[in-house]
A = this chain, B = another copy of it.
Amino acid sequence: MPSEAGGGDRGACVSSLEPLARVSDLSERELIGRIHRRLPASPDWVVVGIGDDAAVVETERNRLEVLSVDAIVEGVHFDRAFTPPSAIGHRALAVNLSDLAAMGAAPRLALLSLALPATLLLAELDDMIVGLAAVAARFRLAIVGGNLTRIDGPLVVDVTVIGTVKRRQSLTRAGARPGDDLYISGSIGAAAAGLQMLRAGAEAKEDVSDPCIQRYLYPEPRLRLGALLGRNRAATACMDVSDGLADAVHQLADANEIGATIEGSALPIEEGARRWFELRGQDAVNASLIGGDDYELLIAVRPRLRGRLEAARRHGDVPLTRIGSCTAGRSVVVRQDGVSRIMPPGYSHFR
């Protein structure tokens, strides 16, 4: 619209003059300009970028494409009361990249679809984009396009990511069989403890520099590990742990029509998380199994291929821990102090 020519600059002025300016103070075009300026510059292979009806890109030769979409919704995946906008932006992209990691793919580009409540502050939008842009820059990911809409409801950040992988190097959930060992990357429980700390902090002012809180707010996609596992064919199956390890083990078992036994004592529970759970009378094993937001990789490995896993471990940037094995039955159990019990179900957004 003619009154909005150069509106991007006007948008910047609104913010500097009016710290409480809202997204509803700008037009869609001004908002797009504002977001665009905070994103990393596009690489050469982006032929048409943000601002047209669609983006146009060159593809990579001799690679398969790996595509994932994930939405995070205020009130379901994050609480704006204690999640800073930069962490919302970080999470929206990181959880998608975690899916690419689980497939052994290298990220390439993303599309960003935002549904913004009219009351969202421009400063919050800015910080959210800065958080997302930092993840994009770190993993050399181009944001090639997106969509903006108003919503009379919660903030929704929907991200589509596309990566690439060489044929025969992609990892999937299928391929595990009885006798395979199960490994988890990094540690579990920290994000769940961090979320509890933040919720408690609504009254008690928790220290937000606590590693568990940082782990919850800024999940780290295991892209390097996933790429290594895909390249050396160490894993028979792989998936990311987004809704808790218990849920992931159930899903991996279901996908392969097998069972699994997890050793409670072997779980790499983050020390700060264990302390937090135990001080509050919670079973640390159980809390770490059902707690979500770990974004680690769950990996099935044929015992005779353990050497390959060791190679991935040496070249990787994150520990790998054997936590159990795949079994022939269909039951998924956790063994603790000599007692086996059915693995609890994971978190479900619906039922």
> Footprint of B on A, CB under 8 Å?
1-5, 23-31, 47-48, 51-60, 63-73, 75-77, 99-100, 102-103, 105, 109, 111-113, 115-116, 118, 144-154, 156, 158, 160, 162-163, 165, 170, 172-174, 239-240, 247, 250-251, 253-255, 330-332, 342, 345-346, 348-351
Contacts and interface: CB of A to CB of B under 8 A. Distances in A.
Contacts of A145: 67-69
A103 B54 contact: yes
Contacts of A51: 173, 255
A65 B69 contact: no
Contact of A118 (B239, B247, B350): B350
A106 to B, nearest CB: 12
A165 B105 CA distance: 25
Given A67-B111, A71-B147, A145-B68, A25 B57 contact: no
Given A58-B64, A69-B113, A111-B69, A53 B349 contact: no
A160 to B, nearest CB: 4
30 contacts: A1-B250, A2-B250, A2-B253, A5-B330, A48-B172, A53-B68, A53-B99, A53-B172, A54-B67, A54-B102, A54-B103, A55-B66, A56-B64, A56-B170, A56-B172, A57-B65, A59-B63, A59-B64, A67-B111, A68-B145, A69-B112, A69-B145, A71-B147, A71-B149, A72-B149, A75-B152, A147-B158, A150-B349, A153-B154, A156-B156
A30 B30 CA distance: 41
B331 A149 contact: no
A52 B151 contact: no
Given A54-B102, A64-B57, A349 B148 contact: yes
B350 A24 contact: yes
A141 to B, nearest CB: 14
A294 to B, nearest CB: 14
Given A52-B173, A68-B111, A73-B115, 11 more contacts: A2-B330, A53-B99, A54-B103, A56-B65, A57-B65, A71-B115, A71-B147, A71-B158, A72-B149, A76-B151, A156-B158
Given A66-B54, A351-B25, A331 B2 contact: yes
A253 B1 CA distance: 9
B165 A56 contact: yes
Nearest to A239: B53
Which of A70, A144, A255, A350 has its CB near the most chain B CB atoms (within 10 A)? A350
A332 B2 CA distance: 8
Q: Which 8 A-B pairs have the closest CB atoms?
A: A153-B153, A54-B68, A53-B102, A160-B160, A53-B99, A150-B349, A1-B345, A69-B111
